[in-house]
Structure 1
Amino acid sequence: MARDSIFEDQSLDIEDIEARFKSSDADERRMAMLELAESAEANGEALLIRALSDPDPGVRLAAAAGLEQFDGPAVAQALANALLDADSSVAAAAGASLCELRAPEAATPLLALIGHPRADVRAAVWRGLRDLRVGATFPVAIDALADSDPHVRREAIGALAYLKRADALPALLGAATDPDVDVRRAALSALAFAPADAVIDALFSGLADGHWQVREAAAVLAGKLRAAGAERALIDALSDDAWQVALKAASALGRLSTADAIPALGGLLSHPVSNLRKEAAAALGEIRRPEALPYLAGAVDDPDPDVRKIARWSIHLIKSDTFQGG
């Protein structure tokens, strides 16, 4: 048989899948749903929705996961119902598939569950609503920042971040002081759309936070916003106990072209973490000042090839600027 003929007809037989779905064998029904999901057959949506009512949790799980390839109100309603499944793995699969929804009208069945007594359901609903970017979610997302469960608050912040509305700023600044570390981190990340001067106090607070993940998020935000006025705090962050924080601070200082950071960045070129050495070398190149050349000269012999490459690139940038009178 010719090789091409093996793949001549790979279309799915929906009638065969229907017949297998009627089997008394749960494994046969589950395999049918898995094949249907893998095929991405457009006509399979209705059958996958029906399978969410199967008595076997394995079949329901396969159906919930398979529906990630489909969209629209009917799918959203079916997945919203599946969030309440007695089997936690089915509910989790439904929550994951909700995140793939893109049609704005899919928000309606999800909004009906934002006050559900189960926190995991409320959190999953906000994850599903995030990418839909529907304006009607704004006031309820603001209210959700007062939810008793931190996972819900964090997911609601994600929805607000995607909306990028200026009137969300007070609520997000408040969330940046939330008792939960993940909520504070999410809030700082969500502030990337705001003017730097409006969030500078939150930046300072974040860079001094007791949890390194929050300090890291604050350093990332400072870089994204090119937050003038945060340079001193970022230089201090280069000596953070967590190298991840120092790395993001180095990146931010490079974007800010902070010449005062050159000695501290140069000192990082001997740090044991090669990723941090690489970021420090890149930042020195972005600052483009000849004072950085002595530090970079030693880095061209770094044991890590990526550090050596970045050091040479930075030296080239600085010398080019110097030669051109920059």
Structure 2
Amino acid sequence: MALFHRPLPRTLEAALRDLKEKSVLVRRSAVQDLGRHAREQATSAIEEALLEALRDDDPLVRTEAAYCLGDMKSKRALPLLLVTVDDANSLVRQAAIDALGTIGDPQATGRLLRALEDERPDVRFQAVIALGRISVDTGMDAVLRAVCDEDPHIRYIAVRVAEELVTKELSPTDTASLPERLVEQAKGWLEDEDAHVRLAAAILLGKCGDDAGAEHLLDAIEGRIFPMEPEDEAAAIELAGTLKLHQAIAGLERRAFGWKRWIKEQHVDTARVALVRLGHQRARRAIVSDLRSWSRNQRTVAVTTAGQAGIREAIPLIEAMRGDHEQAVQEAVDEALELLHARND
């Protein structure tokens, strides 16, 4: 017998009703359920209720309503969201700007560009991200303005947005290219006073095939930048292999085989893939050996890394797993074989 009663998710009718309750806790829960219904099937009734919730007295209700309207890509919400950008609550402001970016309507461009000059850092931060979602040109304009911001967090996110824009819709094996107006500026970002901005710039250039930021990638691999976003850390490790940074081998070996891999996340498999791309035979043998592991999870990881590293001698072992869910996750098997056969063609 259950010790605690957990209420079932509300029906649409119940969520619409409870959004008008006096209890703020009930309204917070109801708007979340309404968002779930909106994801399943958006209706005008839901949209109307969320627009009303965006005027609620409680900031958490307004925040959730803004996110839900963004997910619905509600054009009707544009006027109210544009006003909500100036909400007294930081969470609500961020949600409103995020929603405007998700909706992606050019009508919001002017307001979002003005938000880049807002005195509140949270508004400027979210505005850069939102403008990047509206269009590539609009996003690049925002990047070029935001990289001059006094706040390093905003300069960092500007460089990350630039990376997302230039790598948009590229396959993992493609090399991106920087727009002409960004080439020299991006190299200038390598001299930023903030290590995280320098690393983001190095990753951006690296994904465009330029190793000008190699020293900053090495700093990340060696753990000399702290704290560090896991995504940036993984990207630096991967680029060491892609850009053939042989000077990174010692740091990659420590991640792939050192004792620290047992006590904290070191991106072990990403490091092994990078090492294989640098001609490292021990890493190559380790991946192939893991294909014979007793652990299904370890075999599946090895399948993925073998595909990413282009280990052709792994093809027979991976082919033998095809159709056998006990051996490995079949999606991983199919993806790895597709990569490996593509390299053979």
TM-score of the superposition, structure 1-length normalised?
0.65
Partner residue of 1:272?
none
Q: Contact 1:83–1:95 (CA<8 Å) still a contact in 2? A: yes
Partner residue of 1:281?
286
**Residue 193 to residue 300, structure 1, CA distance change in 2 (3 Å):** closer
Task: Work out whether 1:234 is the aligned partner of 2:253.
Answer: no
- Deviation at 1:220? 2.0
Partner residue of 1:38?
36
Q: 1:166 aligns with which of 179, 183, 189?
A: 179
Deviations 1:67-115 (A, max 9, x none): 1322265535533433432223333443554453344554343223111
Task: Work out whether 1:222 is the aligned partner of 2:240.
Answer: yes
Partner residue of 2:212?
201
Partner residue of 2:158?
156
- Deviation at 1:152? 1.2
**1 CA distance for matches of 2:19 and 2:213?**
55
RMSD of aligned Cα (Å): 4.0
Name structure 1 gaps, 5 residues minimum: 1-9, 267-279, 286-295, 321-325
What amino acid does structure 2 have at the position aligned with 1:211?
A: I
- Deviation at 1:34? 4.3
Name structure 2 gaps, 5 residues minimum: 1-10, 167-177, 318-343
**1 CA distance for matches of 2:200 and 2:313?**
38
Q: 1:253 aligns with which of 275, 279, 285?
A: 275
Q: Contact 1:72–1:105 (CA<8 Å) still a contact in 2? A: no
Deviations 1:6-37 (A, max 9, x none): xxxx7659xx94x8767766566656644543
**1 CA distance for matches of 2:114 and 2:52?**
21
What amino acid does structure 2 have at the position aligned with 1:130?
A: G
Moved more, 156-165 or 204-213: 204-213
Partner residue of 1:78?
80
**1 CA distance for matches of 2:162 and 2:132?**
8
Partner residue of 1:133?
135
Identity %: 25
Partner residue of 2:281?
262
**1 CA distance for matches of 2:252 and 2:23?**
61
Q: Contact 1:127–1:155 (CA<8 Å) still a contact in 2? A: yes
Partner residue of 1:288?
none
TM-score of the superposition, structure 2-length normalised?
0.62
**1 CA distance for matches of 2:99 and 2:190?**
29
What amino acid does structure 2 have at the position aligned with 1:227?
A: L
Q: Contact 1:73–1:105 (CA<8 Å) still a contact in 2? A: no
**1 CA distance for matches of 2:13 and 2:315?**
60
Aligned residues: 270
**Residue 281 to residue 108, structure 1, CA distance change in 2 (3 Å):** farther
Moved more, 33-42 or 239-248: 239-248
Q: Contact 2:90–2:122 (CA<8 Å) still a contact in 1? A: no
**1 CA distance for matches of 2:203 and 2:82?**
28
2:88 is paired with a residue whose SS is: coil
Partner residue of 1:188?
202
- Deviation at 1:134? 3.6
Q: Contact 2:252–2:275 (CA<8 Å) still a contact in 1? A: no
Q: Contact 1:150–1:183 (CA<8 Å) still a contact in 2? A: yes
1:253 is paired with a residue whose SS is: helix
**Residue 106 to residue 182, structure 1, CA distance change in 2 (3 Å):** same
What amino acid does structure 2 have at the position aligned with 1:251?
A: V
**2 CA distance for matches of 1:319 and 1:65?**
47
Task: Work out whether 1:121 is the aligned partner of 2:123.
Answer: yes
